[in-house]
Structure 1
């Protein structure tokens, strides 16, 4: 039998868990099958790799040698695979767009624009509530771009080495049933919602902390926050069981209304990310401009919000000014 990387992963799993049984569970294998595999590995290497008793499995001197080599080889091979995946897509970069999204309000319009501009392009999408998962897929060459959002002036994690650019910034709105006592107001004070139950979609960003901080500034602690998918969030609001925060371009169904929060206590920045060393980086700026255009497309269904943007230039698509500062365009794309 020739030694393969999968055999090294088995040895590492046993060493890390301290047990063949636990390693089998981690690897998704039956314990007898993993034991037989370990025996074949040991025969190939010429001796036992672990001392096994009731206390678990401990590496022998030979096992320590194999582990030392495996802990160098496995990360190196993973790095090689990631680099190869990025380079393999170099020729396809202008013709292939693989997007990952976290509850993005513009992903559909972005795909529509790219499809119209490049009918031969292959466009795929992947949804996840985890920005870290999407970033890892970009690093591994399995996605090209990520669309996500962050609250306030924060930025996505820099741990994965992605380049991040802002698409637009919006105030966060509140979603209410149209029968709610505050539904008739153009703007709602956050403090006037202090007795409400809340519902939110899942996610691994900082929005929960930003929301709690905004409530604290308003002088109260939010009541119970339910966690549900988007459909269930709307159902809970429609039933009068909760209210929800939502993005400014959210289009509520019949029976629900969105209202701005007075003073804009919460802001949401739409972000676009890619890996600077990937083939996709060559077209990233062009795709970013298309994402900004897709955001502008989304405003057509919200004339009241579009009018608000013209009066509040710090929001919408913001572009660098001649001095290097960031200025708003009221959500209107400029040439």
Structure 2
């Protein structure tokens, strides 16, 4: 694992909070997810950064070294971002007729492009990435106008200090099964009954993998091998019975694949639209947000299993309630 700025921010937050519990709350993460992330950071840096005790955590000598460097690096990067925003604002004024849209893998990006491109004289370009943080960087640098991405549970989206992120839908996470799977005919699937399966999912740079592992632990098992790959490969692995997949409830109907809700809805996925307030007019953002909601509603209506789940849940309008205290981001097809 290569060290990233977000890792330095995590280390700084832990040091300032004085305990993993308080740091997890500040970062919007579950404590097990933060502990797992800290272990990965410590492995990358070659040693422990904090000593754990009854009264919290205290930085080791290595931790003090990392914190000293972080106090220099993080403000410098923040200043660079501010300069990039000023540049992006000027560039946006020159390119106001073109709409540059980014998104993670999934059906919503294409649906949103279709709606926006239908406007007279519309010029829409796209950039797809599995990395939510890359999309946030492109927004901050002025290289994208809007980004469609998501976050797991209550996890915060990237770069909230500089960007606006508006939630436009919340979906349960479904499981993808081959049509011949013994559980494919069930109205919903208990996670524990998939304990012996291998898994497939698109990659992401948030905490979805950690939260999935926590959900499996609560169901009484440790998940088997996870294949992180593109949407088409995930679908193929499910079709041939090599793995079961994790997907958003809006995943489109696909030959050979059955999608089913997980009993108890152990994982939620929040759809987000992001932009930089210095480079976008309020009326433009409102228009794109309206189209994003329409794109999600259309995708939900085309998914038979999702429509059935919404009807059974008493939410035919597709609106899911916010559930505080859910684990936290990552990627889903």
Gaps of 5+ in 2: 1-74, 325-333
Corresponding residue pairs, total: 249
Cα offset, 1:319, TM superposition: 9.4
Cα 1:81–1:171, aligned 2, differ >3 Å: closer, same or farther? closer
The answer for the alignment partner of 1:247 in structure 2 is 248
Deviates more, 1:167-176 or 1:249-258: 249-258
User: 2:331 maps to which residue?
Assistant: none
Contact 2:260 2:305 in 1 (8 A): no
Q: Is the 8 A contact 2:81 2:140 kept in 1?
A: no
CA distance in 1 between counterparts of 2:216 and 2:78 reads 44
Q: Name the CA shift for 1:245/1:75 in 2 (closer, same or farther; >3 Å).
A: closer
Which SS does the other structure have where 2:180 is aligned? coil
Partner of 1:108: 110
What are the within-5 Å matches in structure 2 for residues 64-83 of structure 1? 79-80=82-83, 82-83=85-86
Q: How many Å apart are 1:76 and its aligned residue?
A: 7.2
Instruction: Kindly state the Cα deviation for residue 317 of structure 1 after the two structures are TM-superposed.
Output: 4.3
Paired residue secondary structure (1:188): coil
* TM superposition score normalised by structure 1: 0.67
2:307 and 2:316 in contact (8 A); partners too: no
Give structure 1 stretches of 5+ with no counterpart. Answer: 1-71, 327-335
| Superposition map of 1:151-162 within 5 A | 151-158=152-159, 161-162=162-163
CA contact (8 A) 1:104 1:148 kept: no
State the Cα RMSD in Å.
2.8
Report the Cα offset of residue 216 of structure 1: 1.0
Q: 1:172·1:266 contact (CA, 8 Å) conserved in 2?
A: yes
Q: Deviations over 1:288-308 (max 9, x none)?
A: 111001111112312442243
Q: CA deviation at 1:204?
A: 0.4
Distance 2:279 2:224 in 1: 44
Distance 1:210 1:78, change over 3 A: closer
TM-score by length of 2: 0.68
| Residue 116 (structure 2) pairs with residue 133 (structure 1) | no
Assess if the C-alpha contact under 8 Å between 1:198 and 1:242 holds in 2.
yes
Instruction: Please tell me whether the aligned partners of residues 261 and 309 of structure 2 are also in contact (alpha carbons under 8 angstroms).
Output: no
In structure 2, what is the Cα distance between the partners aligned to 1:303 and 1:237?
18
- Separation in structure 2 between the aligned mates of residue 176 and residue 318 of structure 1, nearest angstrom: 24
Distance 1:74 1:211 in 2: 32
Q: Secondary structure at the match of 2:93?
A: coil
